Amino acid sequence: MQQRIETIILKNLLHNEEYSRKVLPFLKKDYFLEHTDKLLYEQVDLFINKYNNLPTKEALVIELDNTPLKDEEFENVTELLTHLEGQKDEKSDIQWLLETTEKFCQDKAIYNAVVHSIKILDEPEKSKDDKGAIPELLTDALSVSFDPHVGHDYLLDSDDRYLFYHKTEKKIPFDLEYFNKITQGGLSSKTLNIALAGTGVGKSLFMCHVSSSALSQGNNVLYITLEMAEERIAERIDANLLNIKLDDLVSLPKKMYQKKIEDLKSTVKGRLIIKEYPTAAASTNHFRSLLNELNLKRNFKPDMILVDYINICSSSRIRPGQYVNSYSYIKSIAEELRGLAVEFDVPILSATQTNRQGFQNTDVGLEDTSESFGLPATADFMFALISNENLEEAGQMLIKQLKNRYSDITSNKKFLVGVDRAKMRLSDLGELSQSGLVDTGKEEKQDTPSFDIATGGKMKNKKDFGEFKFGE
């Protein structure tokens, strides 16, 4: 008679210490269907975690006797114990045991996730989860595996560490010199990167430019918009990539437009998908489902994700209508987005608004982040986009680093980029344009740029620069 895999697992948990220590962190009571198996597993797990040793049959019987079991349950468990004790001397290959147990856990996790998903759909009023949680349930189940890694040994793993130091990190580079300088070559995978700006300064312009740049470099880009329509985002990217002013796109003849698109297809190797969601109606659960659907239906895996923008996403952990302060809510969204970046091994770029104080501030800081300081606490890289009348006339925008896990934040803390709003483009400026900016992290009275519009926006040493304005 063929043995049940559950019996083999329980037998080795009792008599094979190497096996027990490797699989116990991954086993769950829910993986066992038989009630008797569940009861025995629970007692073995409690004993090993408490005493750091394998239990004997006698010890388990005493522990079971002290639990509120029915007589029939107690008899069934002791009978199973006796049966397992009789197989004590039967040995199996440890590698086979581990692989078989891992497959058992994976199959049971998927089965339980499917059952839970059906329950959510059939009895939504009895479930604490909504249907938006189903993709995450299935993803978690599919990702079940025995990971033997339990930490980095500083002395023993020094060779691995040295290789890590010299490993070429996967990056999505900018086409802007100073952004590449401050990020050590571009945005890294598994990071959350945030642009902070007031209303109308150019959050969407910046993100459209970055997506156009990444696409031109042959990367697959997913642009998620919760603010503007898909067509409006595509229109801005058209202006950037086709080198046509926004206002001129409407009057462009169809044949000329099609020719420009065909020329673009011949040079651009990447793909760009733009997906629109209603404001405040989509969370990382929706984004995760979209990513899986794009992979399945269009064979599309993004190298970079842009979310326009983070404050108007919803949280997958906090239900709509549930009272919670803005700090916790926005921080929750930021953590979920960063988790998505790690899960899909991509950088995520998003944006946030300044608060009322930052709207009028001449020198934006982290404290000017709207709604939640938990956002900069979670982000890997955060920078401010600053504009005013003088900068706009000069066709420039000031960038200020606010948080940087890529490199030293005091190096190139502030710098200028050129802006062509008609074509939704950013550009590098010469070194001369940066010379008047303070290149340290120290606070100084004259560290904001001053311009002489009559001379084409060149730097001037003026004490009175006027107030920065943050408007769309």
Instruction: For the chain, 472 residues long, give each residue's pLDDT as a single digit of tens.
Output: 346 889 999 999 998 888 988 888 889 999 998 999 999 999 999 999 888 889 998 999 898 888 888 889 999 999 998 888 877 777 778 889 988 998 999 999 999 999 989 988 888 777 777 777 888 788 778 777 776 666 788 888 899 888 888 877 889 999 999 999 999 999 999 999 999 988 888 899 999 999 999 999 999 999 999 988 999 999 999 999 999 999 999 999 999 999 999 999 999 999 999 999 999 889 999 999 999 999 988 999 999 999 988 989 999 888 766 677 887 888 899 999 999 999 999 999 999 988 666 555 557 767 777 666 778 889 999 999 988 888 888 899 999 999 999 999 888 899 999 999 999 999 998 777 777 665 544 444 444 455 454 444 444 444 444 444 444 4
Nearest-5° angle of CA 408, CA 413, CA 418? 130
Rounded distance between C-alpha atoms, residue 461 and residue 435, angstroms: 11
Output the pLDDT for position 131. 78
Q: How far is CA 152 from CA 6, 149, 165, 397, 450, in A?
A: 33, 8, 14, 43, 50
How many whole angstroms separate alpha carbon 209 and alpha carbon 424? Answer: 7
pLDDT at 161: 87
Looking at residue 243, the DSSP 8-state letter turns out to be T
Kindly report the backbone phi and psi dihedral angles of residue 251, in degrees, each rounded to the nearest multiple of 5, phi listed first. -90, 0
**Tokens matching residue 438:** 């303070």
Cβ neighbours for 71, distance < 8 A, ≥ 6 positions apart: none
pLDDT the model gives residue 245: 93
Per-residue CA distances from 135 to 30, 51, 285, 289, 318 (Å) = 20, 38, 7, 6, 17
pLDDT (0 to 100) of residue 454: 40
Closest CA to 210 of 173, 157, 177: 173
Distances (CA, A) of 219 to 98, 190, 436, 442: 39, 16, 35, 37
Name, in order, each residue with C-beta under 8 angstroms of 65's C-beta and a sequence gap of 6 or more: 74
With 0-12 / 13-18 / 19 or more C-beta atoms within 10 angstroms meaning exposed / middle / buried, residue 403 is: middle
Could you give the CA distance from residue 199 to residue 167 in angstroms, rounded to a whole number? Answer: 40
Note the Cα 380 to chain centre separation in Å.
11
The token pair that represents 93 in the structure block: 């290959």
What single-letter DSSP state applies at residue 250?
Answer: T
Q: What is the C-alpha separation between 424 and 421, in angstroms, rounded?
A: 5
Q: Is the dihedral of CA 295, 296, 298, 299 positive or negative?
A: positive
Name every residue whose Cβ is closer than 8 Å to that of residue 18 and which is 6 or more positions away in sequence: 94
Return the structure tokens found at 35: 């009630």
3-state SS string for 177-193 = HHHHHHCCCCEECCCEE
Separation between Cα atoms, residue 224 and residue 341, nearest integer Å? 14
Determine whether 428 is exposed, middle or buried from the number of CB atoms within 10 Å of its CB (0-12, 13-18, 19+): middle
User: What's residue 437's pLDDT?
Assistant: 67
Contact 466, 390 (CB under 8 A): yes
Q: Which of 377, 442, 369, 385 is nearest to 403 (CA)?
A: 377
Do 415 and 384 contact (CB within 8 A), yes or no? no
